[in-house]
Structure 1
């Protein structure tokens, strides 16, 4: 049995609720971060203080954490240090929005959780998707769900992206603490996290694997120029799916959209794109018996 000191117990308790503790590493993501050199008690007592400023991309380490019950704004104060001569205190509620954990996955999550960036991506995705659809329609080219190729991988990829976005928003809706813990302690290993996060990470890996299969199959079934256009359209569909389902699920209507979309995607593929026959002469895929569209041979 391990016996912890009172200080160690406080540290473990703090980490379980706030997801970080001493020696945790952050990076400044805002343009500047103000730190107070004096002790938190002096700030609460309205004594004169000195302020130093850190700048974007500065690396920080948590040096100390102190609870000040008398502080009416925020009782949690965090001391962070850039180096041995540059350190200071700041309230947690001011510190955390201006920093990001020193991990590429956390930085990726922080970047794509920014409201302004999300709005920009929505507008950009809609414009790009509209332009891509217009180009594809004018050239009478292939596009997933409508004039699709004889491959289930593109349809499967679009469905997985939609399901992953819905599941991602569901975690934020119903178990935000699980996502917050993942944000501070990210990993790509689905076997080292809670079951809900494990399912999400499996879906992320599935997107990568199916995307590779979709690209490979498309390049085999279409000429290179047509394949590039088709894959561009597929990327646009996936981008719209991610944005649409991740946002609408936050308002609980994404689940209805997801059921309708999965039904639509599967119905379109089965009814219009799936081939069940192979030409006995040249081996080309055929949806129906009869004349082969490639060599013209009769298949009965």
Structure 2
């Protein structure tokens, strides 16, 4: 049984920087609101009427902040999961603290050079890339540590790395077609601004589907373990869930296949999540 000692400096560092990142993520919501109010452009009619503004879905300044926010949502939860799992591998406290610190600074800088004070590339690329490499490093260390266990921790790490990999897949498609969402990216490679490229949007929808489903697995899988499930069944569920989420991305964004391929690849993990959730509710029903 893995235990986490709250007196461990690495654990305390993780808690501190996770808290900072949580507040940083929430602050971008306020930044989006500030830009909307300053330009009087809104996504809802009731907001526009209240301030005598207008409904507009494609304001470039608002969309830039929203993309920065989405980038946080795509990356910071992965840090929370991988950072916590990484602590279970007993890393050196000084090294773990350095990773957490650099990751946090990088994510804060990413928002600054993206949405607050936009700078030309490679400023944003560096601010994104260093934290990204840190999460990859932690994920690989977790996988290598638990490779023989076939456990919840192992599959959670694999799913997190898989989620992060789709970010790179999106970038690869953008650069291969030279279509971007930000002017500084387009200028760097003499590309163009385009928000509706079908190939890019297909990968982005695949990524969004990951963000809609994999965090639910992280939570429900952990809660399911507290119900003392039969280890063979639990391991099978985790293994099948992971395999089909990977397959989902393949048949959706890499080698698109006709239905019902994607429906099956989506449906089986979905049913597993529902099953675990129901088991948790039934186990703790008397606590209502």
TM-score where L is the length of structure 2: 0.29
Larger radius of gyration between Structure 1 and Structure 2: 1
TM-score where L is the length of structure 1: 0.28
Higher normalized helix content (fraction of residues): 2
